């Protein structure tokens, strides 16, 4: 029995947490290049503070990502590939797990689409969670690491439990790697 990955992804709406990380960008490129009939890829991200008074919006962040060399092949195949990617502020999901009817209108640049907790709840088919794969224990304190890696994931899972079309969640984290070991022994169960 052979499986056809592009057929599986055809018409699917995908939620990608961590889309601005290195593995996240590679995932987006691969999905866009190999599965051209994906419906939409929703990318929740935190607004980036560039100065004290200026924040880089999710759409501005992705405008920079689209121009990178990584997306050259996708750009050659489909010059309008960015229309499939819907970046939005992650706080829509996190704050909406408390108040599910919260809606924010994103009217920026070419993409103006109403992103709401309810809309995503009823359309998301697949989710990739590859957010915060940091292993720099010197840089973060324990409180921040717990907030990011445990409480953030808990909020996301609370939202995902309500998604009516959800078929799969893929979770990737380097935070649980065996850092203190040179070799990882895998024991055979027999």
pTM of the model: 0.77
Q: Residue 82: CB partners within 8 Å, gap ≥ 6?
A: 62, 66, 110, 111
- What are phi and psi for residue 102, nearest 5 degrees? -65, 130
Q: Tell me which range, 35-49, 63-77, 125-139, is most confidently predicted by mean pLDDT.
A: 63-77
Give yes or no for residue 92 having a pLDDT over 90: no
What is d(CA 179, CA 106) in angstroms, rounded to the nearest whole number? Answer: 41
Q: Tell me which range, 9-23, 82-96, 150-164, is most confidently predicted by mean pLDDT.
A: 9-23
- What are phi and psi for residue 25, nearest 5 degrees? -65, -40
Instruction: Report the run of H or E that residue 93 belongs to, with start and end.
Output: helix 91-96
Give the up-direction half-sphere exposure of residue 161: CA atoms within 13 A in the CB hemisphere.
8
pLDDT in tens, 47-74: 665 555 556 778 888 888 888 999 999 9
Tell me the domains of the chain and their CATH numbers. Answer: 5-116+124-144+156-171 (3.40.50)
pLDDT interval class at 124 (50, 70, 90): very high
């Amino acid at each position: 029995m052979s499986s056809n990955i592009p057929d599986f992804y055809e018409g699917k709406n995908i939620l990608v947490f961590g889309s601005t990380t290195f593995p996240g960008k590679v995932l987006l490129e691969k999905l866009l290049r190999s599965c051209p009939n994906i419906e939409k890829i929703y990318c929740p991200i935190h607004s980036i503070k560039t100065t004290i008074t200026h924040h880089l919006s999710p759409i501005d962040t992705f405008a920079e990502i689209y121009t990178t060399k990584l997306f050259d092949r996708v750009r050659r195949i489909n010059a309008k590939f960015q229309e499939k990617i819907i970046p939005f502020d992650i706080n829509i999901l996190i704050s909406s797990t408390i108040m599910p009817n919260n809606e924010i209108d994103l009217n920026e640049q070419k993409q103006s689409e109403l992103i709401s907790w309810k809309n995503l709840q009823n359309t998301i088919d697949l989710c990739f969670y590859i957010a915060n794969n940091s292993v720099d224990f010197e840089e973060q304190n324990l409180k921040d690491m717990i907030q990011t890696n445990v409480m953030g994931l808990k909020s996301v899972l609370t939202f995902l439990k309500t998604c009516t079309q959800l078929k799969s969640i893929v979770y990737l984290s380097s935070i649980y790697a065996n850092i203190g070991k040179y070799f990882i022994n895998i024991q055979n169960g027999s």
